[in-house]
Amino acid sequence: MQDYKKHFSKNYKMEIPFIGKRADVLNKKAAFAYFNNKHDLAEQLWAKAIHSSNQHYYSCFNLGMKRFLEGTITADALRSEFEDDVFEH
């Protein structure tokens, strides 16, 4: 974060991760949970974010990638989800 501040002369966007619009906050909490190996909690939070903000772009992407990386959906299913949710944005 310090390097980001030095380079761009502004605060890092995620420096204070739990403020902002509801869907953004849920997405940030989900990412935090995911990287702390709480994958089930992350999935629940991403689902809430998607439902709270009419297909929240970043949450759709993150949840899709999580499912793909864990092998719960195929590449074709991921592409289909992204065509329906992510790519339309």
Domain locations in the chain? 23-86
Amino acid 17: pLDDT: 59
Domain 23-86 matching CATH 1.10.10: the answer reads: no
22-78, pLDDT tens digit by residue?
898 899 999 999 999 999 999 999 999 999 887 788 998 999 999 999 999 999 999
5-16, pLDDT tens digit by residue?
788 888 766 666
- b (16+ CB within 10 A) / e for 4-27: eeeeeeeeeeeeeeeeeeebbbbb
Give the SS3 label for residue 75. helix
Res. 80 pLDDT band, cuts 50 70 90: confident
pTM of the model: 0.70
Res. 89 pLDDT band, cuts 50 70 90: low
